[in-house]
Structure 1
């Protein structure tokens, strides 16, 4: 019975896993670019400021960062569409 509750609980979280995973992918793929282009925003510990800076400088970032950011954007749009 306890296993069933854990399994159902984990399954309930799956719809939220894609955006979180996409966010982690952006963080991992873009950290060098964020340090290069958005160091002041990173030092502020404001996610919104870092995100705005990254969006502003996205064309300067590495191809991997651009791909991860696009995947995150697409995941957010798909989530909004599904809501």
Structure 2
């Protein structure tokens, strides 16, 4: 008998304004950025795919919008990009 119940938690989707601000911030700070795409899945609430110079890409996942910003910033710094 399975005694553990799993519940699917709903989460607040990012508004168009949040997406716009996020994109504008990272596009302005990192001119190498070409495209930022938002998505979400059942594993993680927020996912961002960032394409930048040389057709390279990285993906960042987070459970909150604040963490998404922090992790994206860290991903840029890890790849040697610094604030312009």
Q: Which has the higher strand share?
A: 2
Question: Taking structure 1 as the reference length, what is the TM-score of the superposition?
Answer: 0.26
Greater length-normalized contact order (CA 8 Å, ≥ 6 residues apart)? 1
